[in-house]
Amino acid sequence: MIQKSQAIKNNAQNVTDYPNNNTFFLTWVFKTDVEKSHIIDGFKRICALVINLNHSSQNRFPDRKASCVMGIGYDAWKYLNLPNPLPKELKTFQEIKGNKHTAVATGGDIQFHIRSDEKSYAYDMAAEISSFMAPIADCTVEVQGFRYWDSRSILGFVDGTENPHGDAREYFAVIDEQDPTCKGGSYLFVQKYIHNLKAWNDLPIHDQEKVIGRSKANDIEMTDAEKPKNSHSALANVGDDLKVVRDNMPFGNVASNEMGTFFICYASTFSTVEKMLNQMFIGNPAGNYDRILDFSTAVTGALFFVPSMDMLDKFSG
């Protein structure tokens, strides 16, 4: 495997950090009744704030795995007249519609991904960001994720088993030669899924395992002969040379029974993510869609570009 230089790794935002105990996902859309000059000024301030928050967390709480990642949408990139060339694969995400299920497109201008093992610090970072963003944008998605047992989704299965580890995380998540003008950046794709837990829990465990393609208790993948062609593990995996770094987290409100998974991935090429989504929602072949979608509905979908730290610093000026 080709390894990226240490300089590119150090210049990237914290896209390859591992999931931890507490996460905030925040999607913002610029206000239409605020002057463009005010939005541009606010954007510069938020870029500086993200740099500050990450430096501060490393100094104050080095063992809390705290970080804040910021992504920028296509429309926002154009609106802000950002000085760097447009990333090659950054675009407005368009819905992917299969015969039965749809990967909806809901958009967004700025996306924040906040992590910390200390919930109080994750909250403080989210609050600081919100105080800076509120005058120039509206928050359209706010999800507080949490670690559920040994990194399981609320459906009860381990989530992210196929994630790359070690140097492979940078290789698949951080741009290098794919787009020389955007080295150290990353594509960020997010979806909020709501689970139909009643329907899911009505399934016998044996049938649940067929939907996922793994054993529920021990997270052991089925053999190719055992695994259904429409299982999640069969369709969400598009090849060992086409991987992404996932950082999914469960969320929800128990009393209202709105429980789900916030899907988030970082990739050096968005085309890899598109291939995965096409297989899941349209099917491979067409019609053989991901069976998990019968129990988990995507209610948001948006693509962003995560600038390198150097790019963020340039944008803040």
**Catalytic site positions:** 159
**Cβ within 8 Å of residue 251, ≥6 positions away:** 143, 144, 145, 146, 259, 260, 261, 262
3-class DSSP state of 116: strand
Q: What is the DSSP letter of 152?
A: B
Which of 248, 243, 291, 298 lies closest to 271 in space, CA to CA?
A: 243
| Cα dihedral across residues 76, 81, 84, 88: positive or negative | positive
With 0-12 / 13-18 / 19 or more C-beta atoms within 10 angstroms meaning exposed / middle / buried, residue 172 is: buried
* 131 within 8 A of 316, measured Cβ to Cβ: no
Phi and psi based region of residue 306 (left: phi greater than 0; alpha: psi -120 to 50; beta: remaining): beta
Rg (CA), the chain: 19
